[in-house]
Structure 1
């Protein structure tokens, strides 16, 4: 049967295998290189090991081995035993250097069914292994690897069923803790994993499919792709991944071979491939210029004197992504009701009588509008349809102290909401628009009038006046003007005092418009900050104004913009002319909060809400809600923490 006939209806993993099989095949008639023979072997005592890794302590070379009889065994470069746990059944471990002469080890102990953390260091010049903490697992773990992210240690562990988990591992008073970040799904037969911290890539060996590469950062798209297909490995069994971070060489075993790939060039053939005589290695590494190899459940380490590949030339020129400062999340709302890409845009109502009783309004663009308190508790949900963007302003009215407006894509128009002095929110109904797909929205005050800019997803932006009614049903919208735009606009905000509109062209940048001059026919939008991939990375999404009108505040007001392409938030001067800095919202382990990413909408206020938010509050939509993985929500960030991180004027 033709290869393409198999492709319909199969899962992605199987597709990759079939694509490999249907693509170019290695010519089995090509002569294999002559097998190489070990120069010598280091004899071990009753270790029964299937994994080794080199390390240094006190300037000396050592080898750490998993032992099915004795847990972990440490030997010197000549095979002399220096240390053993003498307990437990360990087949796999992960190793990460913490500091000079300090190594963190994760093992799966088959006897206890636990993931365990250990620390290997020196005590008065002699190696020692200390217990740090443990966590029971529901299935045996077959692959483990560490990642270093923003100064934290993350552990990836994958079980025999192909279910992986990412944890942050960190010290607590009594023992180290495993804080779950997200699940990862691979399918069966995973054999090993490794993380390249320079590029932020997690690599997973899964015979017979190949080696996967995906982003190690949970706040980024997974972006799973094939690093090495099975056809390039030419074996059904492969694994034993070990990364030489200095040279940039990824080592692995495949059948009788030991292979090395350039970690920087996926989908390339190996630049080292040797057949080992009379053995099938399961673990290989390099130490002191020699290749070391270990057979399954072995008591011998074979050493080969062979020409090793040169360091990858890219290692000299490689520059990792620009490190953006991080600010810890302070709080979060409960997850939205709808799954998938649902949460979108927040607004903040400041309760003038009691700022601590202020409200957060957040859109669920598959369901309606939710109302939260400052602790993130859901107070009410209005199931009014597919509301996308929401904004509000205070106003003088007999019943309400503020009006919120939200674009509604179910029945194209704007849904209006009134907020009373005691914080009660009432739905005032839908006002239809002559618009195909109402998308972005921002509200502002022009004297006593309440105005709104509303964008059509595939069309122009309309300026509307919100005309009050005496009751709940006689409010109306009056079209004032139309603004032509070059491409899709969603995020926008108005500086009421300056009567200046800022809006984001998702792939272009930030535009500014003098509203009064525009209405007088004398102004067009100006591009004041273009997408450059660093300060602003497409898509440009949510916008908010941090306005500090306190006496002597000077230049302490800022335009805040969601730079969705690099999961950051950019600060500009109030008029948008100067870039001030940017930051990411990061994990807060003390409060068990994840960071935020893929942010659509945001809102910010300079009000002093409480001791948690003494200088104001930033609320951002979180497109990937982790720790644990749940539907999307909104993250809360203290402006005081932002100001401290970016060294803003106090």
Structure 2
């Protein structure tokens, strides 16, 4: 079946109120205290079964929870007493100095207007207590960081943070910050301000395809925006796509990466309670799935085999704030549904 016909069927089903069949999660995590928002997956490359799912608990008395692959809270890795932690991401083999590299976890702490960085898995701070962002525009919530993602350049080896905010200008909504090695910590250096904004709602979800060198961000209620990840490639918007496939808010973004440029961009259709799948290649719409979550903000995916529990990779999605948890799905379940006619 060609893509145009597939899209028409999806639109007809939506207009008739037909619900997609629910794909039940393999694991539901233990509950957080307040309001789950965004997950990240740290793959333990030596012992994949001991990989960690980090998840933000978005509140003034907030936390970064650590969960094992059974969905149980790892209290020794969970960090509390943050002021509204919002989005979280991880990166591997980040250089601290000439002889030291470490995996890192990074997240926005909205009410303190800053970014935090910790080593993984020992959870030691690498940021001298955090570094402020967006301090030049302190009005209309423009100084409050929300979305965050990490880009590690295959070309230079440099590590960058791309961060968005609660509100912002029509141009320059995003900042790209280089994390410079500074001995025992990482020092921030803003290298560009870029990104268009519709002004309709906000831009929160950000994801980076390191291999292909693209940044994707969700302009809620408008569309998915695409930019080059290398700062010297320019600030031109490469694409704006997908808006017609969402009921209202375009939320979490995750990118499944396979060899030869294959994979998908998976995006939460928040009010519809589903996820839309787009081609990693040409960004065309492929299909939608119902994974059982409601009001999903953030999601994340890894294609790495995580032992016997998730041998095909793992997809993690936030469930609504009444449930205060995250859902795990084996990645093999996120396939295009069988259609009645071919």
TM tier, smaller: 0.7 to 0.9
Partner residue in 2 for 1:622? 319
The residue that corresponds to 1:498 in the other structure is 212
SS at match of 2:242: strand
**Which residue pairs with 1:470 in the alignment?**
183
- Aligned match of 2:304: 607
Alpha carbons of 1:320 and 1:536: their partners in 2 closer, same or farther (altered >3 Å)? same
1:597 aligns with 2:294: yes
Question: Is the 1:619–1:636 Cα contact (8 Å) retained in structure 2?
Answer: yes
Partner of 1:536 in structure 2?
246
Structure 1 residue aligned with 2:86: 388
Tell me the distance in 2 between the aligned counterparts of 1:521 and 1:559: 22
Cα-Cα RMSD: 2.2
Relative to the length of structure 1, the TM-score reads 0.44
Give distance in 2, aligned partners of 1:547 and 1:448. 19
Report the 3-state secondary structure (helix = DSSP H, G, I; strand = E; otherwise coil) of the residue aligned with 2:217.
strand
Instruction: Determine which structure has greater relative contact order: mean sequence separation of CA pairs < 8 Å that are 6+ residues apart, divided by chain length.
Output: 2
* TM-score, reference length from structure 2: 0.82
- C-alpha contact 2:103 2:119 (8 A) present in aligned 1: yes
Once the two structures are superposed, the pairs formed by residues 24-63 of structure 1 within 5 Å of their partners are none
2:194 is aligned with 1:483: yes
Residue aligned with 2:335, SS: helix
Q: Residues 350 and 335 of structure 1: is their aligned pair in 2 closer, same or farther, counting only changes over 3 Å?
A: same
Report what 1:430 is aligned to. Answer: 130
The corresponding residue for 2:325 is 633
Question: 1:606/1:386 Cα in 2 relative to 1: closer, same or farther (>3 Å)?
Answer: same
Of residues 165, 174, 189 in structure 2, which corresponds to 1:461? Answer: 174
The structural deviation recorded for 1:536 is 2.1
1:514 pairs with 2:228:
yes
* Structure 2: distance between partners of 1:507 and 1:522: 22
2:195–2:237 Cα contact (<8 Å) kept: no
Q: How far apart, in 1, do the equivalents of 2:336 and 2:304 lie?
A: 17
Query: Distance between the aligned counterparts of 1:360 and 1:400, measured in 2?
Result: 21
In structure 2, do the counterparts of structure 1 residues 403 and 504 end up closer, same or farther at CA, with 3 Å as the change threshold? Answer: same
- Per-residue deviation at 1:572? 0.7
Tell me the equivalent position of 2:48: 355
Cα 1:515–1:635 shift into 2, 3 Å: same
Deviations 1:480-524 (A, max 9, x none): 1001422321111111011111111011011111234x6344622
- Is 1:450 equivalent to 2:159 in the alignment? yes
Cα contact 2:317–2:326 (8 A) shared by 1? yes
Task: Find the residue that maps to 2:18 and give its secondary structure.
Answer: coil
Q: Tell me the distance in 2 between the aligned counterparts of 1:336 and 1:522.
A: 38
**What secondary structure sits across from 2:45 in the alignment?**
coil
Q: Deviation per CA, 1:465-487: give whole Å up to 9, x if none.
A: 1123322xx42111010014223
State the distance in 1 between where 2:206 and 2:78 align. 24
Tell me the matched-pair count.
300
In the alignment, the residues of structure 1 paired with residue 338 and residue 43 of structure 2 have an alpha-carbon distance, to the nearest angstrom, of 25
- Matching of residue 321 in structure 1 with residue 21 in structure 2: no
Cα pair 1:500 1:514 within 8 Å, conserved: yes
Aligned to 1:308: none
How far the C-alpha of 1:596 sits from its partner, in A, is 1.2
Instruction: Give structure 1 stretches of 5+ with no counterpart.
Output: 1-317, 586-594, 626-630
Q: Distance in 2 between matches of 1:399 and 1:555?
A: 31
Contact 1:494–1:500, Cα closer than 8 Å, also in 2: yes
* CA positional deviation for 1:328: 1.3
- Cα offset for 1:333? 1.6
Aligned to 2:140: none
Task: Check conservation: 2:301, 2:314, Cα contact below 8 A.
Answer: yes
Corresponding position of 1:409:
110
Q: Which has the larger radius of gyration?
A: 1
Please report how far the alpha carbon of residue 600 of structure 1 lies from its aligned counterpart in structure 2 after TM superposition.
Answer: 0.2
1:538 Cα shift? 1.9
Task: Please name the residue that 1:568 is paired with.
Answer: 274
CA apart distance, 1:576: 5.2
Distance change (3 Å), C-alpha of 1:350 and 1:576:
farther
- In the TM superposition, residue 624 of structure 1 has moved relative to its aligned partner by 5.1
1:451/1:465 contact within 8 Å kept: yes
Aligned partners of 1:388, 1:369: CA distance in 2, in Å? 9
Secondary structure, in 3 states, of the residue corresponding to 2:17?
coil
CA spacing shift, 1:445–1:646, aligned 2, 3 Å = farther
CA distance in 2, matches of 1:461, 1:641: 34
CA distance in 1, matches of 2:20, 2:262: 21
> Which residue of structure 2 lines up, in the alignment, with residue 330 of structure 1?
26
Change (3 A) 1:355 1:525: same
Question: In the alignment, is the contact (CA less than 8 A) between 2:261 and 2:281 conserved in 1?
Answer: no
Task: Note the 1:3-82 alignment, pairs <5 A.
Answer: none
Contact conserved, 2:36 with 2:321, CA < 8 A, in 1? no
Relative to structure 1, the CA distance from residue 599 to residue 571 in structure 2 (aligned partners, 3 Å threshold; closer, same or farther) is same
Q: Is the 8 A contact 2:115 2:133 kept in 1?
A: yes
- Cα distance in structure 1, aligned partners of 2:313 and 2:159: 24
